[in-house]
Chains A and B, each alone.
Chain A
């Protein structure tokens, strides 16, 4: 039982992090029908803005988090304006390739700038405390990650469901043409989408760096791909789907090695089993858990 609770918390922590990143993929896809392949690297930039905040400026945790979210959000908006907006009328393939290029630029630009040595946050950014509750050890880091991710999701959900911008985002995803004619600035809504999506990825980056303290410019690749898969499994374009998909992936990744041994699956099978399960979900529900099939407009 203690073992289960322990693993449950680990899964919740990992899943929350995937979810924070998956949200950005999903939101951008919802509005632009674009898979923003630079998003994993934006997550990485978020983590590195955290290095800038905590080490270079010596800020404590909360200001570091906010600074990174703001800087990454601005970076996301700038990337959209400079790299994607000029291609809004171009074929979707061109934009996807541009996104891959932006990702490479961020990775290698940062590598050139900061060198290849892995970084980590100062020990005292979040001083780890471990509480022992009846045989279950809970670190404050896990609590912070889980609670913060839940709060950020709740905030985002409110904005998407209950504000004029969220409504405009949904309208754009159904029919772009009529949106500006009803008084909505499409550019403003798209910028806001990037601002929210990338600043959540930045929060994910900082929390990731606190939980798994090895940061390098390529960290966004693996994590980014996994979060992308989580978004697809959840139903890309739907933010509840991104949250559920992220959590699901976290649970599978933790529970397969934790319990696999007892049924003869070694922990090296973690990824094949995890992605095998996700593939099965997609075979049964090709649009993902929350996805709605949409007719392609020609």
Chain B
């Protein structure tokens, strides 16, 4: 290269850099513009697969749908108690087996159509339709005959326990008392969809085009304005929403930033009000230097290890107990995960709708060694080499390495770490082709049932091969019990069995981790980490 060209290139580069830097420092950030204009910028972690409430499964999608659609009943963001949504009021039958909902007459779809009870019936029918194959159809199984309809053993929807008495009255008949029904109604599988729009674009088609911005018709506080894949999704305040006076935000911009570190940098650069999550190693930094931006709230989820009880030596309950007792969870949460998580000595997160397990186990290295000796492996002698499987992720590796070391130090047993990509990992655990596997469970609704009924023999998420008749009986009894105290007693007994048998090793209870700009108001902490946007506003 000639020096002349080099110098001119250098000059050009310098000018460009100066321009960029200058632009960065002087320009108003999206956050400060947003504060003035009431535009919320939120990271959602991933590109949503769809916005069809009956087809999506992820938290990402739910966080957008929450602004676009509204169910019969909503949740108070402070304590998750039911508050009126499309239904103004409701009555519960004394036997707990049926509900009557009175819909408000001023609820409208975004195109001006009134929201009627028939629309809800249409939506429930669609969600349960065997042809659609909605992944969360089982959330509606508490309705009479819903499961049978979903599995095609009943083909006539009129036999399912959901009826529109007139345009504004809806009755739900339940298969068994479901004390947490009103909480369930906040789940997106119960959300209504606009029948004419669905009919136009294919109502039982999984990838229907009705969720495209120009086609989307919703009944929530916001409308879908634009959707640029992998870039941003914008929703704007609806003019037809019945409670529009309460809604203060003008627009919400969602950014699908999958890389936690990139998201954190965007936040620092003033491009996001709220992040989806944050890098683990930054928690300490924010805690020390900028605590006002850090939000760590209890979250209704448990991080645990699955034990394959069909394989020796894990078929021995003593071995399982020894493994569980030999872990120092306090060290794990304070030095490895570092997100303020609480340690888990039982499975259901504490205070799930007033229920906290009373019969957890204790960490006790001496006892763990004794148990291991009783199982025939004194001082870890002759203990076969078992594998610990986790899905590929930095956080999981670190936790697995720490636990591997604890078992080595405390029990003198060797565990081999194996990582797999998520889909392979799911296939391996489903087929019981593992020894120990990492898992996490987030409650779908606020009730211990969401955590305990998955361990019933043969359930899809019971990927341990564990089965206990007494446990199954207690859960079945609880499902038919009206009285919450008796239900909780049944759950206590069931969880006691679960923790004594130990097909799983609970490690810690999750915390939701967000970076949040102090200008965001009405973002109340709750254990489901849901934040209805109608109550959110920005204070510059």
**Does A pair with B?**
no
